[in-house]
Amino acid sequence: MNRRKLLVGVAAVLLPSFARTANAAEDLLKPYLGPFRHSGGDKDRKARDRAIEGVVAEMSFLVRKMARDRLTAANAIASALTFSRTSTELTIVMDERSFTGPLNGAKVKVTSSGDTEIDMNYVLSKDSLTQNFERDGRGRINTFTLEGDKSLRLDVRVFADELPKDLVYKLSYVRK
């Protein structure tokens, strides 16, 4: 009997705290939900290409073309982004690629643009939503930041042991 009272008491204390945490995450995530379209046009494409050139310029001339081609293919600019959620998961669709993971930040296996399995997780803060991909010393971090009610900035950082430095660039999106 005492054990039952203890469990009920603990549940009474903890459940409201879990509800507040879920409500806080829902409040932080709500402004991101829905569709966005790429608005950066050639300016974003040229900035991404300059960033790629900055990375490959520091590599041996023997591997530059291959590295440039791989980085360009792996960093295609999505024309559309859509954010949706269930009670426990967030999905970001980037054109035809869809990535679903738990809202609690736990890592899940997803298929990367190179058709390999990679760990992915989401981190939500009051200022941004971060999507992390990582496998074997390589990865990509997408940081989504709202700029007002209608604009979204995507900061991309690609890292790999084989690169002389991180590939870093920004993309602009507007709400559809």
Where do the domains of the chain lie? 2-175
Cα distance between residue 44 and residue 49, in whole Å: 9
Q: Give the closest residue to 142 by CA, choosing from 165, 167, 163.
A: 167
- Output the average pLDDT for the chain: 89
Mean pLDDT of 88-105: 96
Mean pLDDT of 74-88: 97
Cα distance between residue 111 and residue 115, in whole Å: 6
What's the confidence (pLDDT) of residue 23? Answer: 64
Q: Is the dihedral of CA 59, 156, 82, 45 positive or negative?
A: negative
pLDDT at 6 over 50: no
Cα distance between residue 75 and residue 167, in whole Å: 10
Mean pLDDT of 56-71: 97
Cα distance between residue 55 and residue 64, in whole Å: 9
* 36 close to 133: Cβ distance less than 8 angstroms: no
Q: For 9-18, 102-111, 117-126, 139-148, which range has the lowest pLDDT when averaged over its residues?
A: 9-18
Residue 98, strand partner residues: 93
Q: Name the CATH code of domain 2-175 (choices 3.40.50.2300, 2.40.128.20, 3.40.50.620, 3.40.50.720).
A: 2.40.128.20
| Predicted structure pTM score | 0.85
What's the confidence (pLDDT) of residue 65? Answer: 97
Cα distance between residue 61 and residue 49, in whole Å: 17
What's the confidence (pLDDT) of residue 18? Answer: 41
